[in-house]
């Protein structure tokens, strides 16, 4: 969403900036007709119709190279129909359907990367919007294959979602107003490719078709077949792939129980699996005005407790619990949405994190703590996205990470203290951009290199301690090129390697062909990307 906004703003700025260039050149703009605007190099920057001096109807914008950057239609000055955005190679970045200046229809997003000098990628998401808000099913792709289907309602995950491996569903999720309330892992294999655990097949309407249990690729336990309405029609039992019984009675023992006051008012209602409490249990006051509630897992473990209204929506103060019974969080709700101050606890009941929610989203400052009680992390959020200053500390108070987020993406200057060295540099839209420098803890240089949109680009130099060059070379947008030099600690040249398109062409001036048995890992490889493990998001 952020990327689109930036692209859109850039297009508008480019358009008006080039009006000036055009006027200086021709001293004439047609306020009610077709116009072309130009870069200083003579290439067209944008073209389209104007009405009353403002862009309307069909418009195109271009990169300074002449490659098409965007195209789309306006109707009465408002975005309308399909808009397409392209990268500098002319490959599609986004396709967005509009009506009356709002996203209506599918929003397609594409992504590309460099793979050994070859650009690869394609569609990564297909999201349905109605009046700028996600609704219905959205589709997400990985390496050209369907990865997830998520159902949205009013911009929040709501309903059933599926995770795929190729064409096979491997996880089923259930969301309620953006919160995960159920997860079922199915259709899994071990490292040897043997089926393990529960396997399920589904009808096209989403109803379950069959359920089987495997142990080491052999049927073990119940096999249940269902009709298209989702009701079991046939059962059998297997052991070690051998049929034990072709007819097994399935007992669904979940029953609702009720209790009443002497005046006939409801006192309690809840479900049990045999004697095990499951799901929502509600306890009423004598006049029915107060409804205390408890949520249990399907195995009978108390998950949370608090107050609900007559629509079973969570209201007011709630407690969340670990499976072992300790308080996991002190919480507040309004109409089932998280609100107000929340505090999460470790099992030893020391504070893990604390912060505020508004309309279901974490907002403002959140603080994380080590089990010892020392401050771990301070972050700022807007509608659940990182936005503003971020800092992370070691348990003894040293700064490990410091920077700023803008709408969920790293932006501007960042600092990392990573074990034996320190890293400093800038981000733009979540990607490394500009000059990055790494230092040993002594203050000596460890690495200097430039990045463009997350890709290594230009001269790269690595150092021994005491600022002595260890390795230097050149990247062209993530691809090794030209001569690379390696030195010993005394500054003596050890070898040179000439690269072209990330492939070795010469070693010490001699043409080279990589033998099959020699691996690329036998040559120095540098990792300029930072991977950090942060605590998982807290969920009920």
Question: What ranges do the domains of the chain cover?
Answer: 408-540
- Supply the DSSP symbol for 24: H
Number of alpha carbons in the 13 Å side-chain half-sphere of residue 282: 21
Q: Compute the C-alpha angle 325/338/154, nearest 5°.
A: 130
Cα→Cα distances 316→281, 287, 291, 366, Å = 17, 19, 11, 21
Write down the pLDDT at residue 254. Answer: 77
Give the span between the Cα atoms of 238 and 478, in whole angstroms. 55
User: For residue 12, which phi and psi values (nearest 5 degrees)?
Assistant: -65, -45
Which of 177, 539, 180, 181 has its CA nearest to residue 344? 539
Cα 458 to Cα 412, 435, 464: the distances in Å are 20, 10, 20
> Do residues 216 and 203 lie in contact, with contact meaning Cβ atoms separated by under 8 Å?
no
pLDDT at position 248: 64
Distance CA 426, CA 234 (A): 62
pLDDT of residue 24: 34
State the Cα–Cα distance between residues 333 and 305, nearest whole angstrom.
Answer: 12
- Take residue 152 and report the two structure tokens written for it: 């949205």
Please work out, in degrees rounded to the nearest 5, the angle formed at the alpha carbon of residue 154 by the alpha carbons of 151 and 157. 35
The CA distance from 252 to 375, in Å, is: 49
Extract the residue ranges of the chain whose pLDDT is less than 70.
1-27, 181-182, 248-253, 274-275, 514-540
| Polymer length in residues for the chain | 540
pLDDT tens column, 51-83: 998 999 999 999 999 999 999 999 999 999 999
Tokens of 39: 């870069």
87-96: Cβ within 8 A, 24+ apart: 87/112, 88/63, 89/119, 91/119, 91/121, 93/7, 94/3, 94/4, 94/7, 96/4
pTM for the whole structure = 0.51
Distances (CA, A) of 168 to 19, 163, 221: 53, 8, 22
What are 364's two structure tokens? 């403002």
Residue 19 DSSP SS3: helix
Taking every pair of Cα atoms in the chain, the longest distance, rounded to a whole number of angstroms, is 98
Contact 269, 278 (CB under 8 A): no
Task: Round to whole Å and give the CA distance between 388 and 391.
Answer: 10
Other C-beta atoms closer than 10 Å to the C-beta of 471 total 18
Give the SS3 label for residue 11. helix
Question: How far apart (Å, rounded) are the C-alpha atoms in residues 441 and 454?
Answer: 25
Region of 299 (left: φ > 0; alpha: ψ -120 to 50; beta: rest) is alpha
Pairing of strands 195-202, 188-189: antiparallel
pLDDT computed for residue 456 by the predictor: 95
Summarize pLDDT for 400-428 with one digit per residue, the tens. Answer: 999 999 999 999 999 999 888 999 999 99
Q: Which of 290, 322, 292 is nearest to 305 (CA)?
A: 292
| pLDDT number for residue 17 | 41
**pLDDT on residue 329:** 98
| Distance, CA of 68 to CA of 88 (rounded, Å) | 8
Query: Which CATH code is given to the segment(s) 408-540?
Result: 2.20.110
Q: Is the dihedral of CA 396, 401, 402, 405 positive or negative?
A: negative
Residue 191: both structure tokens together: 């490292």
């Amino acid at each position: 969403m952020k990327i689109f906004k930036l692209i859109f703003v850039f297009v508008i700025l480019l358009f008006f900036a080039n009006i000036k260039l055009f006027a200086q050149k021709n001293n004439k703009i047609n306020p009610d007709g077709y116009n072309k605007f130009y870069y200083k190099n003579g290439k067209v920057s944008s073209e389209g119709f104007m009405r009353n001096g403002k862009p309307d109807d069909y418009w195109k914008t271009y990169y300074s190279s002449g490659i098409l950057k965007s195209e789309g239609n306006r109707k009465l000055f408002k975005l309308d129909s399909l808009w397409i955005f392209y990268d500098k190679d002319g490959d599609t970045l986004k396709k967005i359907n509009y009506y009356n200046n709002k996203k209506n229809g599918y929003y397609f997003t594409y992504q590309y990367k460099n793979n050994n000098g070859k650009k690869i990628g394609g569609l990564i998401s297909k999201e349905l919007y109605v009046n700028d808000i996600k609704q219905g099913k959205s589709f997400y792709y990985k390496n050209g294959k369907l990865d997830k289907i998520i159902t949205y309602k009013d911009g929040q995950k709501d309903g059933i979602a599926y995770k795929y491996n190729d064409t096979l569903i491997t996880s089923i999720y259930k969301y309620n107003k953006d919160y995960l309330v159920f997860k079922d892992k199915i259709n899994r294999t071990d490292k040897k490719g043997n089926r393990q655990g529960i396997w399920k097949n589904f009808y096209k309407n989403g109803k379950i078709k069959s359920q089987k249990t495997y142990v080491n690729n052999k049927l073990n336990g119940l096999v249940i077949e269902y009709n298209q309405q989702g009701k079991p029609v046939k059962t059998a039992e297997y052991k070690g792939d051998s049929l034990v019984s072709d007819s097994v009675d399935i007992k669904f023992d979940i029953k609702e129980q009720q209790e009443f006051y002497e005046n006939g008012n409801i006192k309690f209602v809840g479900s049990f699996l045999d004697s095990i409490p499951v799901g929502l249990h509600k306890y009423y006051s004598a006049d029915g005005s107060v409804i205390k509630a408890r949520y249990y897992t399907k195995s009978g473990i108390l998950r949370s407790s608090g107050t609900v209204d007559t629509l079973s929506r969570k209201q007011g103060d709630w407690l969340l619990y670990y499976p072992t019974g300790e308080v996991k969080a002190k919480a507040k709700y309004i109409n089932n949405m998280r609100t107000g101050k929340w505090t999460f606890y470790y099992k030893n009941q020391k504070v893990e994190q604390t912060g505020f929610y508004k309309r279901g989203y974490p907002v403002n400052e959140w603080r994380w703590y080590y089990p010892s009680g020392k401050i771990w992390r301070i972050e700022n959020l807007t509608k659940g996205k990182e936005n503003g200053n971020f800092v992370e500390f070691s348990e003894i108070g040293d700064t490990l990470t410091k920077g700023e987020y803008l709408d969920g993406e790293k932006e501007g200057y960042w600092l990392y203290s990573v074990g034996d060295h320190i890293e400093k540099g800038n981000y733009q839209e979540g990607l490394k951009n500009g000059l990055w420098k790494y230092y040993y803890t002594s203050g000596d240089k460890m690495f200097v290199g430039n990045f463009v949109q997350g890709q290594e680009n230009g001269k790269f130099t690595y150092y021994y301690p005491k600022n002595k060059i260890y390795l230097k070379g050149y990247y062209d947008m993530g691809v090794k090129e030209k001569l690379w030099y390696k030195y010993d600690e005394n500054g003596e040249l050890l070898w040179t390697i000439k690269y072209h398109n990330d492939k070795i062409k010469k070693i010490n001036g001699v043409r080279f062909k990589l033998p099959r048995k020699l691996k690329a890992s036998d040559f120095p490889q540098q990792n300029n990307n930072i991977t950090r493990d942060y605590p998982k998001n807290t969920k009920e």
